[in-house]
Amino acid sequence: MVFYFSGTGNSYHVAKKLAEGLGEKMIDMARATREDAYEYTLKKGEKLGFVFPVHAWAPPQMVEQFVQRLELYYEEDVYTYAVCTCGQSAGETMSILEASLEANDLSLDSGYSVIMPDNYAVLFKAPSPETQRHLLRQADEIVQLILRAVKLERKDFFRVKKGKGGTFLSNVVNPLFRRFATKTKPFYPTVDCIGCGICAYVCPSGCIKMTAGVPVWEEDHCYMCMSCLQHCPRQAIQYGRGTANKGRYLHPDYRKKE
């Protein structure tokens, strides 16, 4: 069983490849959270996987919360692995996830990071189409290696790019990010908004409501996944002053899904 969270498709694509290769089903953690669905039964021999993006050198907070609330039923020891997708580095993401798993009497047998195009338009421009293609080709090759390791159930096997200063970034910068950089107030639609409602439809947290044909972001529910901003067909959604000329990015597989 592959649990995943994805805002713009990178983690969705990785989870899909793993689920197909293992012959297992995918569970959207955001949807499960909205539906208060935390109980699952693993079949004999089924593996337990988590796939998610790195948010400021840590797992998204909702992923940690989901893992801690997860109730699993199984007959034998379960092989557990995790894959995080990131634009540059993951810091101590796997250690943080491992702590959440241990709080739920689960252990992490292996963990991996996969470098993919960055979607955090608040700070970064969308990569050029050529760079996107290069990164996505590399990512698919790495996913195949991960799939092989998972099938072999390799234990104590971690291939994660922590990056320079990863521990500091995860332990100091991430708490600041969660406290100060996850507010919904800076989100706004420009005059180019056509009221199509795609942003509200794709929002994993369900925090966007259409009011008189205009999107309104509710406070304290945003995952900062950039799904609304990146999906907008008119690039009419902005976050503060820093996203207007950054371009937009969605994984090609996610465009097909939507």
CATH number at residue 196: 3.30.70.20
Domain that holds residue 225: 187-257
Domain boundary among 134, 149, 177: 177
pLDDT surpassing 90 at residue 258: no
pLDDT tens, residue by residue, 114-157? 999 999 999 999 999 999 999 999 999 999 999 999 999 999 99
In a domain, 182, yes or no: no
The model's confidence at residue 75, banded by pLDDT at 50, 70 and 90, is confident
Given 177, 207, 241, the domain boundary residue is 177
Percent of the chain predicted with pLDDT > 70: 98
* pLDDT attached to residue 155: 96
Could you give the number of structural domains in the chain? 2
Residue 120 shares a structural domain with residue 201? no
pLDDT at 114: 99
Alpha carbon 50 to chain centroid, angstroms? 10
CATH number at residue 82: 3.40.50
Q: Is residue 28 a part of any domain in this protein?
A: yes
- Mean pLDDT taken over the chain: 96
Judgement on whether residues 152 and 71 belong to the same structural domain of the protein: yes
Question: So what's the pLDDT on residue 257?
Answer: 54
Q: Does 244 score more than 70 pLDDT?
A: yes
Q: How far is CA 193 from each of CA 54, 184, 215, rounded to the nearest angstrom?
A: 29, 18, 9
Q: What number is the average pLDDT over the span 35-57? A: 97
Is 90 exceeded by the pLDDT of residue 238? yes
Q: Looking at the structure, tell me whether residues 78 and 130 fall in a common domain.
A: yes
Q: Are residues 38 and 130 in the same domain?
A: yes
* In a shared domain, residues 90 and 143: yes
Domain membership flag for residue 233:
yes
Query: Among residues 232, 5, 49, 21, which one has the least CA distance to residue 140?
Result: 21
Residue 160 has a pLDDT of 98
Bridge partners, 214 (sequence order): 211
Say yes or no to pLDDT of 245 above 80: yes
pLDDT tens for 178-200 read 999 999 999 999 999 999 999 99
Average pLDDT over residues 206-219: 94
Say if 103 falls within a structural domain. Answer: yes
Instruction: Produce one character per residue of 160-197: b if its CB has 16 or more CB atoms within 10 Å, e if not.
Output: bebbeebeebbeebbeebeeebbebeebbbeeebeebe
The residue from 177, 202, 232 where one domain ends is 177
Residues 170 and 196 in one domain: no
Q: What confidence tier does 256 reach under pLDDT thresholds 50, 70, 90?
A: low
Cβ atoms of 85 and 51 closer than 8 Å: yes
Residues 56 and 93 in one domain: yes
Same domain, 194 and 164: no
pLDDT band per the 50, 70, 90 thresholds, residue 221: confident
Residue 50 CA to residue 93 CA, distance in Å, equals: 12
- Say yes or no: 173 and 193 in one domain: no
Per-residue pLDDT averaged across 3-30, rounded? Answer: 98
CA dist 72 → 38, 51, 142 (Å): 8, 17, 29
CA distance 196 to 30: 22
